[in-house]
């Protein structure tokens, strides 16, 4: 089955800096890669996703890049703000499968 590795486990940045979280996956058949943000005490919420037919997707301050050859994808957050502080999860899903495989999460701390 699919295995998703996520790094780093914790990331501390100063407000205004950029943050990058990286994930690798094992199943070359995976074609859907969402990123979820979970604030303290809240439910995970989708912030951006990418499918394997594109290499990059942007939404305001967040972007995701995908390298299918190397089987890795990354989340980029620019101009970080304290409200970006949360746990971020990457995930992967192969076509034809119903379930997502999640990474172990990255705790992002943005200091004012």
Partner 1 sequence: EADIYQTPRYLVIGTGKKITLECSQTMGHDKMYWYQQDPGMELHLIHYSYGVNSTEKGDLSSESTVSRIRTEHFPLTLESARPSHTSQYLCASSERQAGEDNEQFFGPGTRLTVL
26: contact with partner 1 by CB under 8 A? no
| 23, 90, 100, 110: residue in contact with partner 1 (rule CB under 8 A) | 100
Q: Which tokens is 59 given?
A: 């939404």
60: contact with partner 1 by CB under 8 A? no
Q: In whole angstroms, give the CA distance from residue 49 to residue 35.
A: 6
102: contact with partner 1 by CB under 8 A? yes
CB 86 within 8 A of CB 109: no
Of 48, 39, 103, which is closest to residue 75 (Cα–Cα)? 48
Judged by CB under 8 A, which stretch of 19-27, 42-50, 56-64, 69-77 contacts partner 1?
Answer: 42-50
37: contact with partner 1 by CB under 8 A? no
């Amino acid at each position: 089955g699919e295995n998703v590795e996520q790094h780093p486990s914790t990331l501390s940045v100063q407000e205004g800096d950029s943050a990058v979280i990286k994930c690798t996956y094992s199943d070359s058949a995976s074609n859907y890669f969402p990123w979820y943000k979970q604030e303290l005490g809240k439910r995970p919420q989708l912030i951006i996703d990418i499918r394997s037919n594109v290499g990059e997707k942007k939404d305001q301050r967040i972007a995701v890049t995908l390298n299918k050859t190397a089987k890795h994808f990354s989340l980029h957050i620019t101009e970080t703000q304290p409200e970006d502080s949360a746990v971020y999860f990457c995930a992967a899903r192969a076509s034809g499968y119903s379930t997502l495989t999640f990474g172990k999460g990255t705790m992002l701390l943005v200091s004012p």
